[in-house]
Amino acid sequence: MLEECKSIDQKPLKLLEIPEPVPVRNEIRIKIKACGVCHTDLHTVEGELPLPKMPIVPGHEIVGIVDELGEECHRYKKGERVGVAWLYSSCGLCKFCKMGLENLCENAKFTGFHVNGGYEEYMIVREDYAYPIPDNFSDENAAPLLCAGIIGYRSFRLSNIKPGQKLGLFGFGASAHIVIQIANVLGCDVYVFTRSEKHREHARKLGAKWVGDARDICPEKLDSAIIFAPAGWIVREALKSLDRAGILVINAIHMSSIPELSYNLLWHERKIMSVANVTREDAEQFLKIAGRIPIETEVRLFKLEDANVALELMKKSEIEGAAVLRIE
């Protein structure tokens, strides 16, 4: 549990006993088996994202078993395996919800941010915000799909990349290592920009056509690019490799300041867009696709009591693939 935001090297997360939550109408209780560790967790723990409540239990890449049902629950039965993602609830009434953009809901709540998340043994959620997990994934390998996978899929869709085109990925962690597998299925050439030699080798193993540093000019002009690293200076570098009419998608909930840009980098109808959260439709579509491909997630497992360690290693870019807490 997080009681005070601090630098992760000060180990701000504490292992505490708290009461088991009780589901009410339309809610299910989940006995958590695994929870992925996300950069958003790091931003909240270190105070880069102001938290609406404290104390809070982080975590929003959750896989577990339904163990209690509230009244009028019909979607799941006890014992079924489900996942919970970043979007905990939306109002269904605001203009964005009515437009099919519940990811932009003015009254949305997010898992591990407004309500306790997955760095614990039990949680509750409305049954229509939980998702069935494909049978061909273990709990640990399914966990990164619930955020890194879903938000990567939304970014991939918004990039408008087409089969056979050239896609750039800036940063190669939990989300990018899933996106490259979707791109491979479409026959896209993928160019990866990352400072970590371990991540470069991982990208090569997963089929990247070229790897380099974010400051390198790509050997080919990119039709689309996605930035996963929360560093604003990369925006300018990515635009240098983007072709005319190219789309640059920024997949970050928090990013450092973007430096001044020369208009020439935007001219010729290049576009920059951000990705904000995900919808339930994104989650349902992606999990079906992930099961069919099937997506292979690279995970490094940690005990729940080692959550601080996992986040610190993530901050240092020392985790290949995704970090996952095993909840026992």
DSSP one-letter code for 13 = B
Contacts 24+ apart (CB under 8 A), 232-235: 232/256, 232/257, 232/258, 232/259, 233/258, 233/259, 234/170, 234/171, 234/193, 235/259, 235/261, 235/272
Q: Please, which residues bridge with residue 294 across strands?
A: none
Residues 172 and 281 in one domain: no
273: left (phi over 0), alpha (psi -120 to 50) or beta: beta
Residue 1 lies in a domain: no
Residues 263 and 297 in one domain: no
DSSP one-letter code for 317 = T
CATH number at 126 reads 3.90.180.10
Q: How many CB atoms lie within 10 A of CB 303?
A: 13
Residue 2 lies in a domain: no
Residues 85 and 177 in one domain: no
pLDDT at residue number 131:
98
> How many independent structural domains does the chain possess?
2
Contacts of 328 (CB under 8 A, 6+ apart): 303, 304
Contacts 24+ apart (CB under 8 A), 105-109: 108/277
Residue 3 lies in a domain: no
Residues 12 and 53 in one domain: yes
Q: List, for residues 124-149, the tens digit of each pLDDT value.
A: 999 999 999 999 999 999 999 999 99
pLDDT at residue number 202:
94
Residues 182 and 245 in one domain: yes
DSSP 88-112: EE--S-SHHHHTT-GGG-TT-EEBT
pLDDT at 150 over 90: yes
CATH number at 203 reads 3.40.50.720
Residues 256 and 295 in one domain: no
DSSP 43-86: HHHTTSS--SSSSB-----EEEEEEEE-TT--S--TT-EEEE-S
* Predicted model pTM: 0.93
Residues 268 and 281 in one domain: no
Q: List, for residues 16-57, the tens digit of each pLDDT value.
A: 999 999 999 999 999 999 999 999 999 999 999 999 999 999
Query: Which among 232, 256, 274 is the end of a domain?
Result: 274
DSSP 78-89: TT-EEEE-SEEE
Residue 200 lies in a domain: yes
Residues 100 and 156 in one domain: no
Rounded average pLDDT over 306-321: 94
CA torsion sign, 25 to 110 to 117 to 278? positive
Beta carbons of 211 and 186 less than 8 angstroms apart: no
Residues 156 and 302 in one domain: no
Residues 15 and 122 in one domain: yes
pLDDT at residue number 321:
87
Residue 22 lies in a domain: yes
Residue 122 lies in a domain: yes
Beta carbons of 313 and 319 less than 8 angstroms apart: yes
Cα dihedral 183, 231, 111, 86 in deg (nearest 10) = -20
Residues 22 and 138 in one domain: yes
pLDDT at 320 over 90: no
Beta carbons of 168 and 238 less than 8 angstroms apart: yes
- Give the residue numbers spanning the domain of 174: 150-274
Q: How many CB atoms lie within 10 A of CB 195?
A: 15
Q: Please, which residues bridge with residue 170 across strands?
A: 193, 227
DSSP 202-241: HHHHTT-SEEE-TTSPPSS-EEEEEE-S--THHHHHHHHT
Q: List, for residues 70-116, the tens digit of each pLDDT value.
A: 999 999 999 999 999 999 999 999 999 999 999 999 999 999 999 99
Residue 234 lies in a domain: yes
Q: List, for residues 242-273, the tens digit of each pLDDT value.
A: 999 999 999 988 899 999 999 999 999 999 99
Residue 242 lies in a domain: yes
H-assigned helices in 244-323: 280-292, 307-315
Q: List, for residues 172-202, the tens digit of each pLDDT value.
A: 999 999 999 999 999 999 999 999 999 999 9
Residues 135 and 13 in one domain: yes
Q: Which residue has the tokens 């299925």?
A: 185
Beta carbons of 326 and 300 less than 8 angstroms apart: no
